[in-house]
Structure 1
Amino acid sequence: MSSHPAPSAPAASPEFSLRKIAVPAFGPSLLFGLGEGAILPIIPLTARDLGASVSMAALIVGLISLGSLLNNIPASLITMRWGERWAIVAAGVWSAIGMALAVMTSHLGLFAAGCVMVGMSQAVYNLARQSYMTEAVPIMYRARALSTLGGVMRIGMFAGPFLSAAAVHAFGLQAAYVIGIVAVLGAAALGASMPDLPPLQLPPGQAAPTAVTLRSTLQDHRRLFLTLGIGVLLVSAVRASRQAVIPLWADHLMLAPAVASLIYGLAGGIDMLVFYPAGKVMDRKGRAWVAVPSMLIMGLAMLAMPLTTGFVSLLIAALAVGFGNGIGSGLIMTLGADHSPRHGRAHFLGVWRLLSDIGASCGPALLSFLAASLSLAAGIASTGLLALAAAAALAIWIPPRRRSPDKEH
């Protein structure tokens, strides 16, 4: 039974530099995020053009998350079978096929199937890139690498809608999907250029481990999944809910849509500025130094949000939410990497990402239920309480730091 981080990456060498692996390691994430960001705002509009009702269009957007949720465990099998590099390539190609199906069909059912395929590819890509970086990056640089990985993906997701907006204005809705296809195929091409990971070397005299299965992974790490895994689920629920909280409360305050978009954009901007420093703190001081403040800041900001009354006060609360979310970039991946075993890592990370996706699906659903049954303010405040619960869970269950601080850089 595993409850503490294992040194699952090779020791650092003085020659290692994140800059040396920047293009093959982070380039695919930027392009994958750009491709998905380009099509996400366009999917409901396309669905409406194909005859979907407003509620059906919203459901089709949710199919991407559903496809990711249902494919986490199959993604682990694909990664174990093909290896991280080819799993990344396959994810890019599969996503491109899904986008092509979505843009070429006039049938709503086939369009929905294309959206599910994009979500499936997301699960494979995210698991494979996390597994690759966990093994390729020395442990003393792990949080910085994974925070940068998450931050670069967010930059792509942020820039994608602006690029597609310009293309749609010039050429129509189909142009957004063309941008998406080009971007994810570019991610696949960069992924193919990544060096293969060396085979695992057993210490002299150590017998080869028994084959790892999904069942044995669940059994060996069940205590971890039921403790820190629940904390990860709560973190994901809060993060997913934040995307709806800001525009919904801005609408409640009767702010103009352009003003609401400005507030949301500024919160997203600060979110993208702090991922690397936060990763550096996690590497030098320990994971809890960032994990707990991230959730505390988001929780307090969301509890304060229903008390805001206009542009300035909402902007301050939204910026605090963005800052709290930004410093937690790569947190879930880092915690998963710390606890993942070298043998059977893909199975472990598949379950880890499944917990995260369950939280991401349940958070907005809970917000919607409370807003409908009580009030929007009650829903937002409840999300803030979830964040405080996540902070408590992380404070209790993240193991204390046992390695000396990183002296380099």
Structure 2
Amino acid sequence: MTRSVVRQITLGVYAPALVFEIGIGAIMPIIPLSATALGGSLATAGLLVALLGVGQIIGDVPAGALAARLGERNAMLVAASTSVVALAACALAPNLGVLGAGVLAVGATNAVFLLARQAYLTEVTSALQRARALSTLGGVQRIGAFIGPFLGAGIVYLFDLRGVYWLAVATSLAAGVVVLVVPDIAGADTRLRRDRAPVSLRRVLRDNAPVFRTLGFAVLAVSAVRASRQVVLPLWSEHLGFSPATTSLVFAVSGAVDMLLFYPAGYVMDRRGRLWIGIPSMLVLGGAILALPFGTTLAAVTAAAIVMGLGNGIGSGILMTLGADVAPAPVRAQFLGIWRVFADVGNAAGPLVVAAGAALGSLAAGIGAMGVVGLLAAGGLGRWAPRWSDHANRTTRRRAAERAAAVAAARGAEAAPEQGG
């Protein structure tokens, strides 16, 4: 990529992604507090938090259709604008119903923004630079989600809970303005869409069913394991009687390790292949989760948390990169919308498995189950990624190059007699 392209990607994708995610990260811990302030029970507060993920799942497939119809850049503008309205509704919510509707809408707009950024980066980067671009996007999102709660805490201290939603309104507006003023990269948003006939969702599902039936479920497992990390650390720390401050510190250390590794992860994926990151990530993360219930001291839990951060961090961008690798160019946005459904269902399912174990009387069993899922996810990636992605490893890249050379030679042989005649 040229320096001007890198600058445009930084300003047009990474900057709005960071700002947008700061707002989402800020409201995450505030949603349950708002629910209880409006008279809801703890169970109701938990349900409202879950609505953010539900909204994202609901919005995934329409997000793909919207990006395909309007273009990735315009879809981001629609998402930012709608997010402003939804967040304002949360800030002004007089009751739980309005708050829940606003949270659901925020989740759906987040799905559009996420997918549009992924599809846009896939369009404007080459396959050999794709992992670095997408892992950087994943890293930027994590940084935003890390910063958001700190800003939100400051707003609550200075003002009140509703002020955090207004902060998120401001970040959504800022993200939309940046997307609006930064130009596209040489028409990349439309060059593959021009003169393209609309393709139905049913056809995309039918044509790509073998991918979704195999690699799609590996993606679901990977997402479930990664999401469970957000739950197992605080729950096990609570089980051991650690103070909230200690638990937060352990979680922050894990998050810091996680955030440091996104660019090296992308570099290795581009140089060596996707499986050089995907499989180790799941083995390390799954193994650390399996080991966590054996930790009964602060030092042991902190060590497990650091290893979890390492495993999750080296996998930054792996799902977005694999999705970009296997998505057919003519229906890329629609395909990625379905792809994100698998990822978001996994995000919702992982914490539920841990919670189910706790509800049945064995938190350790729930945590251990997710560790096993991590090992199975590594096996699923190893089994199915080479079948569908030319960039899974060096062997698949070599075979893809040989196929391309054979096709080029065949075309040259066909053209030779015509020229001779």
The two structures have a TM-score, normalised by structure 1, of: 0.91
1:239 aligned onto 2:226: yes
Q: For the residues of structure 2 that align with 1:398 and 1:278, how far apart are their CA atoms?
A: 17
Shift of 1:364: 1.2
Q: For the residues of structure 2 that align with 1:77 and 1:118, how far apart are their CA atoms?
A: 18
Q: For the residues of structure 2 that align with 1:32 and 1:259, how far apart are their CA atoms?
A: 29
2:290 is matched with which residue?
303
Deviation by residue 1:136-184 (Cα, 9 ceiling, x = unmatched): 1122110000000010011000000001101110111122111111111
1:39 aligned onto 2:27: yes
1:259 aligned onto 2:246: yes
Question: Over the residues paired in the alignment, what is the CA RMSD in angstroms?
Answer: 1.6
1:61 is matched with which residue?
49
1:25 is matched with which residue?
13
Which residue among 293, 305, 308 is the counterpart of 1:321?
Answer: 308
Shift of 1:21: 2.5
Structure possessing the higher relative contact order (Cα contacts under 8 Å, 6 or more residues apart): 1
2:409 is matched with which residue?
none
Contact 2:8/2:183, CA 8 A, preserved across alignment: no
Partner-residue secondary structure (3-state), 1:398: helix
1:294 is matched with which residue?
281
Q: For the residues of structure 1 that align with 2:350 and 2:160, how far apart are their CA atoms?
A: 34
Shift of 1:17: 5.7
Shift of 1:327: 1.0
Question: CA distance change for structure 1 residues 14 and 128 in 2, over 3 Å: closer, same or farther?
Answer: closer
* 1:80 partner letter: A
* 2:210 partner letter: R
Q: For the residues of structure 2 that align with 1:242 and 1:333, how far apart are their CA atoms?
A: 19
Q: For the residues of structure 2 that align with 1:165 and 1:158, how far apart are their CA atoms?
A: 12
Which residue among 209, 212, 217 is the counterpart of 1:230?
Answer: 217
Structure 1 residue runs of 5 or longer lacking an equivalent are 1-12, 203-207, 405-409
Partner-residue secondary structure (3-state), 2:128: helix
Select the structure of larger CA radius of gyration. 2
1:135 is matched with which residue?
123
* 1:120 partner letter: A
Shift of 1:386: 0.4
Shift of 1:14: 6.0
Partner-residue secondary structure (3-state), 2:330: coil
Partner-residue secondary structure (3-state), 1:71: helix
Q: For the residues of structure 1 that align with 2:240 and 2:258, how far apart are their CA atoms?
A: 23
The two structures have a TM-score, normalised by structure 2, of: 0.89
* 1:215 partner letter: R
1:156 aligned onto 2:144: yes
Contact 2:22/2:144, CA 8 A, preserved across alignment: yes
Q: Structure 1 vs Structure 2: percent identity of aligned residues?
A: 45
* 2:130 partner letter: R
Shift of 1:304: 0.5
Shift of 1:38: 0.9
* 1:163 partner letter: L
Question: CA distance change for structure 1 residues 340 and 311 in 2, over 3 Å: closer, same or farther?
Answer: same
Contact 2:219/2:343, CA 8 A, preserved across alignment: yes
Contact 1:213/1:344, CA 8 A, preserved across alignment: no
Partner-residue secondary structure (3-state), 1:200: coil
Deviation by residue 1:372-401 (Cα, 9 ceiling, x = unmatched): 114000010101000000000001111143
2:191 is matched with which residue?
200
1:106 aligned onto 2:97: no
Which residue among 253, 261, 271 is the counterpart of 1:274?
Answer: 261
* 1:387 partner letter: G
Question: CA distance change for structure 1 residues 16 and 337 in 2, over 3 Å: closer, same or farther?
Answer: farther
Deviation by residue 1:343-397 (Cα, 9 ceiling, x = unmatched): 1111100110011111111111111112211400001010100000000000111
Partner-residue secondary structure (3-state), 1:153: helix
Contact 1:25/1:194, CA 8 A, preserved across alignment: no
Structure 2 residue runs of 5 or longer lacking an equivalent are 387-391, 399-421
Question: CA distance change for structure 1 residues 345 and 177 in 2, over 3 Å: closer, same or farther?
Answer: same
Structure that is richer in helix per residue: 2
Q: For the residues of structure 1 that align with 2:239 and 2:256, how far apart are their CA atoms?
A: 23
2:419 is matched with which residue?
none
Shift of 1:105: 2.0
Contact 2:327/2:336, CA 8 A, preserved across alignment: yes
1:168 aligned onto 2:168: no
Question: CA distance change for structure 1 residues 20 and 403 in 2, over 3 Å: closer, same or farther?
Answer: farther
